[in-house]
Amino acid sequence: MRLPSGTYAQNYGQDIAMVRTRSHWIFLAVLMVFVFTIPQWASNATLALATIIGITIISAHGLNILTGNCGMVSLGHSGFMMVGGYTLAILCRSAGLPFWVALPVAGLVAGIVGIIFGLPSLRIKGFYLIMATVAAYFIIHWLVLQFRSLTGGTEGMPVPAPDLFGLSIRDKTIYYYVVMVLVVLATVVAKNILRTRAGRAFVAIRDNDLAAEVMGVNLFSYRLQAFFIGCVFAGIAGGLSVQYYSFANVEQFPFFDSVWLLGMLIIGGMGSVSGVIYGVVAIKLLQQLAVKIGPSLAELVNPQAAVGLSLILPSVAIILFLIFAPQGISHMWERFRNYYQAWPY
Amino acid sequence: MKRYWVIGLVLIVLLALPLMAACGEEETETTTTAAVTETTAGATETTAGATETTAGGETPTTVGGPVTLYLGGTFALTGAYAEDCAAVLAGFEDYTKWVNENHILAPWYTDRTIPGNITFELLWGDDALAPDKTVTIYEDLKSKGLLVERISGTPQTMALKDLLIEDQIGATCQTAAPAALLPPGNIFLKNPILTDSLAGAADWFLESWADTSRKPRVALLTADSALGRNLDIPEMYAYLEEIGYEYVGAQFVPQPATAPPTTQLSWLKENNVDLTLGAAVNPTTQPTIKEAVRLGMGPDQPYKITFCFGEPGHLQIMVPDMGAMANGTVVSGDMCAWEDKVDGVAFANMLQDTYRPNNRNTNIMYLDGIVEAMTQVEALRLASLETNPAALTSVDVLQKGFWQIKDFNTGGICANNLTYGEGDPQGIEMVRIQQVQDGKIVDLGSRPIKRNILPAAK
Amino acid sequence: MTFFLQLFITGLALGMMYALIAIGFVIIFKCSQAFNIASGQIVMLGAYLGYTFLMPLALPVWAAILIAIAVGVMMGLVIERLTIRPLLGQPPLPIVLMTIALAGVIDGVAILGWGGEYQAYHDRLPAITLHLGAVSVPPSSVLALIVSVVLVAILMFVFRFTKIGLAMRATAEDEQVTRSLGIRATTVYALVWVIACVVGIVGGILLGGVSGASPPLSDIGLKALAVVILGGLDSIEGAIVGGVILGILENLAAGYLDPLMPSGGGLANVFPFIIMLIVLIFKPHGLFGLKRIERV
């Protein structure tokens, strides 16, 4: 981490601390206060948007570890979310498990499915791996539809309102807090995973897999670990999403969502934990903008303008970022910070 | 080490927040419920009183400040049902304009007037068939003051159903998903659910079945989508076997069909199927029928087979697109045809002449839009007879509006007058059977629907 | 047996369609090492263009095809100049991401332009019906077969006997060396995108004649990716053979395995991906692909 001049680490605790300076603490505190007071002042619609952004952030953290750090592009992330979502739905509904037990299990199951579809990464990488993950999405989608007695097929399945220590969390405000606490946890965990031995191995594999292997990084094992971790995040996000709508349906996890997740990483900055948050917020707000201005374009163009725009606006943003700022918002922010920290030099 | 304590403390505070909020919320919740119960009790009395006044033919007397009431909901303007939903939206738009100008419910309901101070405004969003978008739009519209809702498709129905019950909001819908009745909620149907609708078509086919030596063989030929798979339930097969069919199996056609569904059609031929039932929209059915004609399959073709699809308004797109090629295709649904001489169609034509003389919407779902908008306006109107329109809540609209809609004349657009009530959101009792004959849509009459083909509750 | 033959022939028809789309993909990959995920979207746009030219404008088929080709040329140039050229010299990954974003833009344009509604143009394309014994071949497949054969012949001719073809093959071999020899690699890149867009749009017009135009049509592009994996990323022959094999296998699977599935099939949608996964694990370079492709 780049620190302002004059800040020294005097012991190990300071050296590894994620939040170091006073301005860090102030930023964090302001952000937390903002995030956790949204239900107090925002409308229901804003709250719904914020909850969905939170769920997406958790999912994007997983993809960031897999794609941003380990360099394996996945277009099947939406499929792994589906696995998590349906696992939670089945456990809560058919097995009657409480939500807070089912959610980690959903993550685990998604992680294991991720390992299975990550197995080809033993032999292939790059574009071939992308195609394997595309296949993973469609195969999962098909399996969910086939095991109809378990999943409800295309009709989907309703999920009972969860209990959290005796309190019903059907209420959207409480659910928002639950999601946000998990977002904070997921962010801390994602940040820390990257600072472990595994995290460093991921980056080494991404930068040069041959060199990493020569240095003794077990490619196969670490690739599968990356798949596992990434998909656990996806599974938990999928579970949260299903619980939010109290309903599981395959159309909740469309193929294009994986594309948007990748786009979020590009806009936020591949490999950066804070970038994930910037990217998710940016794309979700762009889509929201399209939904807002769409109806006013309905007279001018056609009633479908909103959806057309909600595809075009984020896509154009991704294209612009790819061309002009391939390292994303987090890099732009860093440059700005370095500039003002060094100001007037 | 200190840092960890701080982070731990922050986490504990964060975890405590939801608990605190939960406690707070619970208290308010109980109070609101109590309040609602009281109002309901009060309302029942007033309803009784109001029925008398309405019977007396008295016009509403509430004249206050100007009030805007909203109608509308979510539309799937993108995806497989785009054209249908766009037409529904057009119907909503035109009807809203007309009501604001004329202040009566419909040309045939001159006694049901809307107070001059009430203006209706249309609120809508495109859910693009996605349940998550539907929920977001629903919350958004609700916060803008929409007291009613409308729903377009099966996944959206499932996503909103519990929310609607929780929020006590009544909804009209375009869907015919059996799920909407499982169990009956606040989604008020004016279409027979797909299973019932196709059961009606099966009844119709059986009537004309002359060959006594064998049972007619029936199969599902349906879209590989949520809509199409609505039919694929054991209860449906059981019903068909029960009324005297031999059930052969199901074939699914991709939606859209990227290749002619020769495989599925050959399978039907191999298995000597006489009738196929299916739920599908044009991107699936047009390539299917076209390929069937090429393979010599159809009621007028060498291989005798009848294709039946249960989607209202389907033929109105299919016939202009395909012409005589579509001959023999049967559709079971609820909507009348544009050619029918009924009040509803005359009204729709008048609306189109007035508001879109240059770009008329020829899709039959335009009529659906009018019926849905009319139902929403009627619910709002009935509720505002009881309560001050400025203070209306969705509960009022549901209980004093939707539940009180009885024998509601849609100008002949629906097969019978709609009657709703508490726990009875299915308003329709008949299903219309239509067939393409010589490139024209011919009404084969209506059949009573069987209100019992629902998937077993899981 | 008739059932089998019918499945086989329909599969062949479908396969020719896959092959057409796959050719567009392979050409781009061969010459610029770029993966074009948006090929399905180009096809979908082609179907909508076909509708516009044949129905509201009521042009004759040859005129429609000519204008469509012109549109394809324009589109190829615009796409290459605005999105691919700025990424020149970058690793393949950003280019893949770029084409994914491009897919979003084209989808959005189709929705803005045509409202995302289903549009059909039956009976506008010439119908050539062939009968092989008891089985009749769908006219669309005969058309697709003719168009693919003509296209491949033209492409082969260009590759083998023209100067630009030589430049394209050289660029495919080594871009740096090619540029140092004074060949404009950018022209080659522009040209391959033009070819890919033209092939995609013509394929789209053919496909639209079968299924009509609607946004979900672009999903066929993903299946075409399975075809190129099977056939080998850089082999035009592979694209054709792979397309045919996949089309037939998909159809046979749907015909024979669907009735055995617990919930009535839908196997046609997923079978190409299952095959693709198998190919990826056991023979990642495909049937005809060059083995130099980087592996772990």
Domain architecture of chain B: domains with CATH: 67-192+340-427 (3.40.50.2300), 194-333+433-448 (3.40.50.2300)
Chain C, window 115-144: residues with a beta carbon less than 8 angstroms from a chain A beta carbon = 115-116
Contacts of B301 (CB under 8 A, 6+ apart): B292, B293, B328
Radius of gyration of chain A (CA): 21
> If you ran DSSP here, which 8-state letter would residue C46 be given?
H
Residue B60: what pLDDT? 46
User: How many inter-chain contacts (A to B, CB under 8 Å) are there?
Assistant: 137
Predicted local confidence at residue B27, as pLDDT: 36
Dist. CA A33–CA A26, nearest whole Å: 10
DSSP assignment of B345-378:
HHHHHHHHHHH-SSS----THHHHHHHHHHHHHH
Q: Using CA coordinates, name the residue in chain A closest to B29.
A: A171
Collapsed DSSP state (helix, strand, coil) of residue A3: coil
The DSSP code sequence of A126-181 is THHHHHHHHHHHHHHHHHHHH-HHHH-GGG-EE-PPPEETTEE--SHHHHHHHHHH
Q: Chain B to chain C, count of Cβ pairs less than 8 Å apart?
A: 122
- Rounded distance, CA B165 to CA B182, Å? 13
d(CA B91, CA A317): 35
What pLDDT is recorded for position A59? 96
Query: Which 60-99 residues of chain B touch chain C by CB within 8 A?
Result: 77-80, 82-83, 86
pLDDT digits (tens, 9 = 90+) for A144-194: 988 878 887 777 787 877 766 666 655 778 889 989 999 999 999 999 998
The CA distance from C16 to C240, in Å, is 7
Candidates A119, A134, A307; nearest CB to C273: A134
Nearest to B263 among C139, C211, C255 (CB): C255
Residues 6+ apart with CB under 8 A from A303: B75, B77, B86, B89, B126, C115
Q: Is C266 on the interface with A (CB under 8 A)?
A: yes
A9-48 burial: b if 16+ Cβ within 10 Å, else e: eeeeeeeebeebeeeeeeeeeeeeeebbebbeeeebbbbb
| Distance, CA of C84 to CA of A209 (rounded, Å) | 27
Low-confidence winner among B29-33, C5-9, C124-128, C145-149 (lowest mean pLDDT):
B29-33
B322 contacts in C (CB within 8 Å)? 120, 122
Instruction: Say how far residue A238 (Cα) sits from the centre of its chain.
Output: 10
From B11, B391, B65, C178, select the one nearest A182 (Cα to Cα). B11
Token couple for A200: 């460093």
Interchain CB contact of B232 with C (< 8 Å): yes
Q: Which of B84, B74, C270, B162 is nearest to A156 (CA)?
A: B162
Question: What span, in angstroms and rounded, lies between the C-alpha atoms of B307 and B278?
Answer: 8
The model's confidence at residue C262, banded by pLDDT at 50, 70 and 90, is: low
Residue-wise pLDDT for C171-228, tens only, equals 877 878 888 888 888 888 899 999 999 999 998 998 888 888 888 888 888 888 899 9
Question: What percentage of chain A reaches a pLDDT higher than 90?
Answer: 43
β-partners of residue B126 are B75
Write the DSSP assignment of A11-38 as a string of letters: SHHHHH-SS-SHHHHHHHHHHHHHHHHH
pLDDT of res. B54 = 39
Best of C277, C282, C292 to mutate (most A CBs within 10 Å, chain A): C277
* pLDDT over 70 percentage in chain A: 95
Chain A positions touching B82 (Cβ under 8 A) are 304
- Cβ neighbours of residue A206 closer than 8 Å, sequence gap 6 or more: A69, A70, A71, A271
Which C positions 21-80 lie with beta carbon below 8 A of chain A? 35
Residue B438 neighbours by CB distance under 10 Å: 8
Residue ranges of alpha helices (H) inside B116-172 are 131-144, 154-167
Query: What is the structure's pLDDT at A292?
Result: 76
Q: Is A9 on the interface with C (CB under 8 A)?
A: no
pLDDT for position A164: 64
pLDDT at A8: 80
Point out the residue among C87, C108, C274 whose CB comes nearest to the CB of A312. C108
Please tell me whether residue B126 adopts helix, strand or coil conformation.
Answer: strand
Helices (H), chain C: 2-32, 39-54, 61-79, 92-114, 139-161, 163-173, 175-180, 185-211, 220-231, 236-252, 267-282
At A230 the pLDDT is 95
pLDDT value, residue C198: 93
| Chains in touch with C (≥3 Cβ pairs < 8 A) | A, B
Cis peptide before B183 (omega within 30 of 0): yes
Q: Name residues whose C-beta falls within 8 Å of residue B323's C-beta, 6 or more positions apart in sequence.
A: B439
CA C265/CA C146 separation, integer angstroms:
32
* From C123, C255, C266, residue closest to B252, measured CB to CB: C266
- Surface of A (35-64) touching C: CB under 8 A: none
Spans of all domains in chain A:
43-253, 255-345
State chain A's mean pLDDT as an integer: 87
Inter-residue contact A176 to A54 (CB < 8 Å): yes
Q: Is B22 on the interface with A (CB under 8 A)?
A: yes
| Model confidence band, residue C106 (pLDDT cutoffs 50, 70, 90) | very high
| pLDDT(C294) > 60 | no
- For C71-100, what is the mean pLDDT? 89
**Which positions in chain B touch A173 (Cβ < 8 Å)?**
21, 25
- CB contacts, 8 Å: B455 with chain A: 155
> For helices B2-55 and A172-193, what crossing angle results, to 10°?
150
Best of B84, B281, B290 to disrupt the C interface by mutation (most C CBs within 10 Å)? B290
- Cβ atoms of residues C68 and C49 within 8 Å: yes
> Is there a contact between A267 and A278 (Cβ–Cβ < 8 Å)?
yes
B306 sits in the region (left: phi over 0; alpha: psi -120 to 50; else beta) called: beta
> How much is the ipTM here?
0.88
Indicate the pTM of the whole model: 0.84
Mean pLDDT per 10-residue segment, chain B (458 residues): 59 57 40 36 38 40 74 82 83 92 90 88 83 80 89 82 86 80 83 86 88 89 81 86 89 80 84 90 87 87 90 74 86 81 90 86 86 92 88 89 90 87 85 87 82 66
Residues C181, C183, C186, C187: what is their CA dihedral angle, to the nearest 10 degrees?
Answer: -170
- Render pLDDT for C61-77 as a digit per residue (tens, 0 to 9): 889 989 999 999 999 99
Angle among Cα C254, C260, C264 to the nearest 5 degrees reads 70
Using a CB-CB cut-off of 8 Å, the residues of chain A touching C94 are: 322, 326
Q: What is the pLDDT of residue B61?
A: 46
Digit-coded pLDDT (tens) for A26-72: 888 998 899 888 888 887 778 888 998 999 999 999 999 999 999 89
Strand partners, B100: none
Structure tokens given for B131: 């349940």
Between A266 and C149, the more confident residue is: A266
